[in-house]
Chains A and B, each alone.
Chain A
Amino acid sequence: MPILFIAQRATAFVLAFAVAVHLATILYAVRGGLTAAEILARTHGNVAFALFYGVFVVAVAIHAPIGLRNVLREWTPWRGRSLDVVLLLFSLLLLALGLRAVIAVYS
């Protein structure tokens, strides 16, 4: 079963929606510049926000490393178990840093 392919396409659908929302939000929010206070005012204690970005982070942590895996396998001689392990670590890094960032602006 092509798990990685299926995971990447499934998260692509999730991200299509999430990125559209994120881009629209950014384009709207940066009008006239953006300060930390303005960002945090929107995100502090905002459960909907935290859930949305939490899902976003999980989807990205799955989607990006699988994409990078294709790039590295096709454009460099690196393949096999060591590549998969490194990309898994990258996935965990994105997950950890991402959820930490969500918590940082939520609390």
Chain B
Amino acid sequence: MSEVLGVDVWRGAEQGAFQAFAIPRRQHQTVLDVVTEIQREHDSTLSYRFACRVGMCGSCAMVVNGRPRWTCRTRVNEVVKGGERLRLEPLRNFTVVKDLAVEMTGFFDKWKQVHGYFEPGAQPAKDFAVVPPQTKERKFADAGIECIGCGVCYSACDVVAWDEDYLGPAALNRAWTLVNDVRDRGQAARRNAVSGSDGCQACHTHMSCTRFCPKGIEPTYAIAGLKRAMFGWGAR
């Protein structure tokens, strides 16, 4: 193992350049360790995000050697072989605020647009809902509810890159979990949003979202479920 890791880090916003650093290689080093070391020891003007550092919050997502991933859960050894350099860029398909930090507002606006939130309805329920975990709907919902909104899938999606109005895999995956939530009372509005031209029909099954999701969620199949459901809605 060579003793020094060459790192190229994006500096700037939409316009900018890569800045090179040389960081000592350490055993079990994660990419987050590297970025933190750069910011603390070499260039305190570097902007980046992290929080939990243990793979729970998704704040540290960025593009590492061309792949969107969580830096806290990426060992340098996994992505750099031999004398290769480490290349760090902000997530794709987001507006870059500065360096490695991106503007997440648009991403969450699309969640709102798809009605990706639970709607309890005008009247409170009289009693607890009985939702057996083995029902089909609950299994579909459970497959997708662990999403923490990290943005990796959105960064990976080429349709988002080609069509900035496309709601994207995260928002649609969340919509699918709510379409399958038997307690929800906001289905009409959600169905409208999902059926629109920016909704599930724009997905072309590239499957990059499923490939890169750090939580193993499969937005492709959630979106396929929405497409199937959409035919049923259209029949009404």
Q: By the criterion CB–CB under 8 Å, are B234 and A6 in contact?
A: yes
Contact with B along A63-93 (1 / 0, CB 8 A): 0000000100111000000000000000000
> B128 contacts the other chain (Cβ, under 8 Å)?
no
Q: By the criterion CB–CB under 8 Å, are B159 and A74 in contact?
A: yes
> A2 contacts the other chain (Cβ, under 8 Å)?
yes
Q: By the criterion CB–CB under 8 Å, are A1 and B234 in contact?
A: yes
Give the docked Cα–Cα distance between A1 and B231 (Å).
9
> Mostly helix, strand, loop or mixed at chain B's interface?
helix
> B201 contacts the other chain (Cβ, under 8 Å)?
yes
List which B188-231 residues lie within 8 A (CB) of chain A: 195-197, 199, 201-202, 204, 227, 230-231
Chain A residues within 8 Å of B199, by CB:
2
A interface residues, how many (CB within 8 angstroms): 9
Q: By the criterion CB–CB under 8 Å, are A2 and B159 in contact?
A: no
Give the docked Cα–Cα distance between A82 and B95 (Å).
30
The answer, among A2, A74, A75, for a CB contact under 8 Å with B195, is A2
Nearest A residue to B197 via CB reads A2
Chain A residues within 8 Å of B163, by CB:
73-74
Interface residues of B (CB under 8 A from A): 159, 162-163, 195-197, 199, 201-202, 204, 227, 230-231, 234
Interface residues of A (CB under 8 A from B): 1-2, 4-6, 70, 73-75
Could you jot down 6 A-B contacts, CB within 8 Å? Answer: A1-B234, A2-B196, A2-B199, A6-B231, A74-B162, A75-B162
